[in-house]
Amino acid sequence: MKKPWQKILTCDHQMLFDILEDEKDAKEGKITGTCPIKLKTNGDCDEGEDCPYQINLPPMTIQLPKQFRLIEKTLKEVQTLKEAVNKLKKCCQDCKLQADDNQERDRSNELLPPNAETPAENSEIQNNRVKELQSKVNKMATSLKNAKNQIQTLQGRIEKMSLLNMNNVEHYVDSKVANLTFVVNSLDNKCSSKCPATQPKADMQIMQRDCADLYTAGKRHNGIYYITPDPRNNSFQVYCDMETQGGGWTVLQRRQDGSTNFNRTWNDYKNGFGNLSREFWLGNDKIHLLTKSQEMQLRIELEDFNGIREYAKYEHFYVANEYLKYRLSVHGYSGTAGDALHYSRHYNHDQKFFTTPDKDNDRYASGNCGAYYSSGWWFDACLSANLNGKYYHKKYKGVRNGIFWEKEEIVSN
């Protein structure tokens, strides 16, 4: 297994270096910026070199983002629109009252005085008034609808701006408090007991994540080395191939003489077994750590009983954790051995869970492929490849429970 070369120093190393510099400045009282902290002695040191110190912390001022002005302006616009809506409602009520008065007048016009207008003239006047009132009501209704739409739009803007700015304020405050807490804790840890005049810098240890990092660091001999793929987990030993295809390959499995039994339990495959100098399985947990944080390549080298060598290479290789049953993700084939991991629609080992004789995670409904083929592997239902099968010293017939890699490719569709 191999990955493209990367830098030796990771971001974690750089962050550690920066933290050490901040602690030194905090100890010497040289911290500057928008939040100065004053450190002074508060008495004489005792015989045990315990030195009392007094820390003066200034009040912390938080400057809120300027977007809050936009919120205030938007709220004023909403208030103005609400006042306009109230005016429109009042006008509608006035129109309704006026329409009611007109109806009363229509009823009173049934008895006309001698000099009153004729019924035809009065009807025309009333019709004109009604049309005028209807026009006003329609305009007011349109204005009211537009005002409601504007209010909804502004309210949506306010909600988004409020959420955005509150998140910004929370992150801003959290970062300031975290910085201040770090400085105080640094001073407390460094100066609560002994405060020597000079303190040597902490040594930075460069951790090699895999054999490719070791190759970059100058290692050129095949052999067993310690690597640390994840600083949160312990280092462990691996066998490094520093010669094949440019070197820097981390060996996950080797079969050469049948000296190691691969008919093992789930826990054996989880932790690894065998002899790194001969036959072994590195361990699913370790393979997961190697593949989880960086892009890895997989190279499989095969040799048959006639001494013919072939290989299969995959540009992407990843094994999930135990919770996901060490699911295999592999693609990007090239080579001469054939893509047995994607052999057909029924025999496709990609995206399959790991199965052992004592834990059945395969897709074979009638039984356990691991028990049937006496090994642990990413079985489908059941296989077109199994590199952990029984080691035969000569050709065999019958059940394909040996080391197996299907040569011919079949279209998976």
Closest CA to 387 of 397, 396, 398, 375: 375
The pTM score is 0.53
Please list the alpha-helical segments (H only) found in 59-118.
67-108
What pLDDT, on the 0 to 100 scale, is given for residue 220? 95
pLDDT digits (tens, 9 = 90+) for 270-328: 999 999 999 999 999 999 999 997 899 999 999 998 999 999 999 999 999 999 999 99
Cβ(279)–Cβ(254) under 8 Å? yes
Flag residues of the chain having pLDDT under 50.
2-34, 111, 195, 197, 410-413
What pLDDT, on the 0 to 100 scale, is given for residue 11? 31
Rounded Cα distance, 234 and 111, in Å:
108
pLDDT digits (tens, 9 = 90+) for 216-250: 999 999 999 999 999 999 999 999 999 999 999 99
pLDDT digits (tens, 9 = 90+) for 49-63: 677 767 776 666 656
DSSP state of 231: T
- Structure tokens that stand for 215 in this block: 């190759």
Residue 401 burial (10 A CB sphere; 0-12, 13-18, 19+): middle
Please list the alpha-helical segments (H only) found in 204-318.
211-216, 266-271, 284-292
Cis peptide before 369 (omega within 30 of 0): no
